[in-house]
Amino acid sequence: CTATSAPASITVIVCDDTLNLKLFIQGYYAGSSTMTPALFNQGETIDNTVTDTIVVEIHDENAPYAVIDSKLAILQTDGTASCTFPNANASYYVAIKHRNGLQTWSALPVQFGIPSISYDFTTASSQAYGDNMFEVESGVWAFYSGDLNGDENIDIGDLTILENDISNFAFGYRAADTNGDGNVDTLDDPILNSNLLNFV
């Protein structure tokens, strides 16, 4: 009954990575690090802790920055969202797409290959590639609102969509509802117009 031992190398492969995000959308921001429950206001859910859905992409860190994977995530009113990427084991840019928010990328590639990764866009404009965010209150940053047609600019094309929806008294799940109150009206205009005039 003598004990024997031998050194061994063990490689542990992490199969799934959970990406925990924090981000705010400018038009939905209600203050005190919370957002309006847009989906609830638009009649899409009975859960008033949900703001909206977002698309989370991970991109190769080298040009041409190909999409490696894409997931749909639920964005909570506190700005948190989570999604799981299987077999992600390198550094990737994280890109966020939203139906009326300007597409925003992480400033630098994020290291995957561990079970839980966190990235907080809200703490500084430098968390986004090109510092491309808006300060909604002191020290709190959000993605620009108003890219209604998804062309990565806030311009006259987006304003036309908003004005048409205002004229048609549109309500419900609409990209032009930039403040998330469930209606498309003149209250949605100031944010989009401000960002348009600033060539966002």
Residue 9 pLDDT: 85
Q: How far apart are CA 25 and CA 50, in angstroms?
A: 13
> Is residue 7 over pLDDT 90?
no
**pLDDT-derived band of residue 3, with 50, 70 and 90 as boundaries?**
confident
Q: What is the pLDDT of residues 91-148, one digit of tens each?
A: 999 999 999 999 999 999 999 998 899 999 999 999 999 999 999 999 999 999 999 9
Kindly report which listed range (7-16, 121-130, 185-194) carries the lowest average pLDDT score.
7-16
Q: Determine contact, residues 14/116, Cβ cutoff 8 Å.
A: no
Q: Determine contact, residues 144/134, Cβ cutoff 8 Å.
A: yes
Residue 13 pLDDT: 60
> Is residue 12 over pLDDT 70?
no
pTM for this entry: 0.91
> Is residue 190 over pLDDT 80?
yes
**pLDDT-derived band of residue 6, with 50, 70 and 90 as boundaries?**
confident
> Is residue 14 over pLDDT 60?
no
Q: What is the pLDDT of residues 57-90, one digit of tens each?
A: 999 999 999 999 999 999 999 999 999 999 899 9
